[in-house]
A and B are shown apart, each in its own frame.
Chain A
């Protein structure tokens, strides 16, 4: 299918999300749409898939202008979409999910299971998408669930497949497998629109690359004729070299000590399995792993948000196993939660109020059960300056800020207490380059001031850039603790569950005086 987008414009109020976007996808082409979070990629795809109506411009399929009122229209014209969050019914089998909404039926409306299974088997074989048709979707790893999504699109005879950030939840090995599938689909004449913000993937798989920034197309390139640095510069609109500048760690006393930590979730699944880990004062330990391998639950167990089934959590010698969040906070633990809007902030309340969520009942904000609103406001305004939060005033509702500024509010609140241990989960997810730089600098400063830091991140580049030591989790267990010098490949293997003996923490005097690790713009 030849798809043409001509002058697509989409506005949300005063915000122009897509500004006259032109894009042509040729049959059999893998076209990458590259851009930072907020560049307008997802909006464009939602317009293309009939989820949003564009305000101006035209969509043409094989030269013919089309209007999609809803995703059903788009599917009928041969467009398929694999969303970032899967749209699968967990308790249905693969075959049932694949035919859902377009079920083959026999007479009197009985579901033709055999045909559904045969469809899945045929499509799997054709494109090398190995899936067991009778497996329950909930029992499958995310990589396979994604294949089910792709099969769904193919079953509806998609000639153009939109993949929205498909690699975010995959291991490096699964990503390679996905790329193989994409190539075989392209070879069959189907077009693929691959949305991502990861440069390496673009270079590996794209035929052509379209870069978006602030709602516009800022350039088109071919992988052989450009470099990651060029693409990065296009994405951010300026030539940036993102580095985390940090001196060599000076690990001191043991602050966080996890011994045999085990967490069982609501479904009775052991999500953290006998984890032993220590974090010393003055070092950053980065917890790497594909999302959903227990890192989040580990952080929640430390911060008192999730019950510990067995084992212990100690912070600076203080027993905090199954302590309340308040006790953990009072023990000097700062926590930047993974879900900033869900757990970190109250979006309807003001910046100043959000800055005192954890200390609202203490001096100088409270006296005899009554809030000192003037003091709350004064401190709020002061922190706008201290933490470079861009807002008109501290009386602005936090929900109106950009992601970067929201995260700065969380960071400002958490680092305004005396911190012995900082637990930061996905601290830069969804942030712009400037905010990423800022948050990373603050984290390193905190380390240099003597705090122990535990970073949970599924971005390998962030882990490599920030971590003095890197602990890798897979299916609830620690598969290894290594230094950043272990390299991408080896950490990738650990993330996929290939275990190896723990490495000792870096010995004194080893390594460079100043370790500068380049952070790729991923």
Chain B
């Protein structure tokens, strides 16, 4: 049954559970408490993170020999078993934190001695370095998702962008003020071209972008492998599959001095997030993207060109992924090798999901992912617990975010509707 009239008389919903103040408006604390038991975006995200930490702790307990040994003797020394468990979990999560954000002991040392500041800021710098390509590729994927286009090809587009950026890097010789922008534009163009291919195929032939973009990942991966052993890309005098290196004029400048790797790439990523945010909210093209993402037939009926929009979305999405490859290459790596880009293009999909396809969400999600990556490496070095634990935590977070119903049930939250996540899930089946 539908409401026949939405008049002002029906605006007040009777039966809400919040205590109301005399003016009819519930007090601020009650509204806050009310919000906290809703399955809204923020609450679900925080609980997803919490759940992931709990599951990670269980894994640590179950797989660390020292902990298992202590529990084997729990009959004689139960307190000891709890102590060992607690310190092991604490050490592991502590190492993730100190390895990715800041180390209190290093900070104390630097303050007292005036030396070792690099060590203090290195963790956060590494997190920013890692986050930059994730943000860029994540923005591209998110833009696609929110338009109803499923670009699973960020990995391939990233490689295409990196190849193009590298070519512009070594093939021309210009002052840095001109060369660097050209490299960045070239990288974006390379990714855009790689995104345009599935775009035009979908627009012209109806080929499903998920299939095409997945397959193109392999094409670009193999193209890279081929180029690495052929001229002009291969490093002269090398028999290994290693590319030429980026000249100094094609490298992104460091942000905080030469000892910290944080570079302009992170600024480019933030600028891209702002640009995407503006694009989606304020531009006419972004308006048509949103309409077609929310209801394609309404867009078509209102005269929008769905095929053109699909093509543009994939192209822009590819350009952002291409930028991701460019900032990795020009910011930290400076040369290409086989399998370049690792998993960034696929992590970008989870980051987009985590960020609920919103630019700010993508930035925060990418920072969280980057921190877990960087901190996980530190944990492995410091405690011997494998870095895979970080992947488990990442995966659990995404799992909980993707199934808000699970979190709702787990914590007995009130349902307020799934929002963008359900839209995301819906898109896969259409």
Contact = CB atoms under 8 A, between A and B. Distances in A.
A237 B282 CA distance: 46
A345 B303 contact: no
Given A353-B287, A402-B2, A404-B4, A358 B302 contact: yes
Contact of A342 (B281, B288, B290, B298): B298
B290 A349 contact: yes
A108 interface: no
Nearest to B5: A402
Interface in A331-345: 335, 337, 339, 342-345
B2 A405 contact: no
Nearest to B303: A326
A301 B105 CA distance: 73
Interface string B261-282: 0000000000000000000011
Contacts of B16: 14
A15 B7 contact: no
Given A401-B6, A403-B2, A343 B282 contact: no
A250 interface: no
A360 B3 contact: no
Interface in B1-36: 1-8, 11, 13-16
B15 A14 contact: yes
B306 to A, nearest CB: 10
A28 interface: no
Contacts of A39: 1
Nearest to A335: B301
Given A13-B13, A360-B288, A343 B6 contact: no
Given A360-B288, A371-B283, A373-B282, A325 B1 contact: no
B6 A390 contact: yes
Contact of A305 (B3, B15, B290, B300): B300
A426 to B, nearest CB: 14
Interface in A210-242: 214-215
A365 B1 CA distance: 36
B3 A361 contact: no
A214 B16 CA distance: 21
Given A361-B284, A369-B284, A371-B282, A349 B294 contact: yes
Nearest to B2: A38
B287 A390 contact: no
Contacts of A12: 1
B1 A369 contact: no
B333 interface: no
B291 interface: yes
A346 B294 contact: yes
A432 interface: yes
B294 to A, nearest CB: 5
A344 B303 CA distance: 11
Interface string B219-247: 00000000000000000000000000000
Interface in B283-328: 283-285, 287-288, 290-291, 294-295, 297-305
A402 to B, nearest CB: 5
A42 B290 CA distance: 34
B295 A326 contact: no
Contacts of A391: 6
Given A346-B299, A371-B287, A390-B5, 7 more contacts: A17-B1, A37-B2, A40-B1, A326-B305, A329-B303, A346-B294, A404-B4
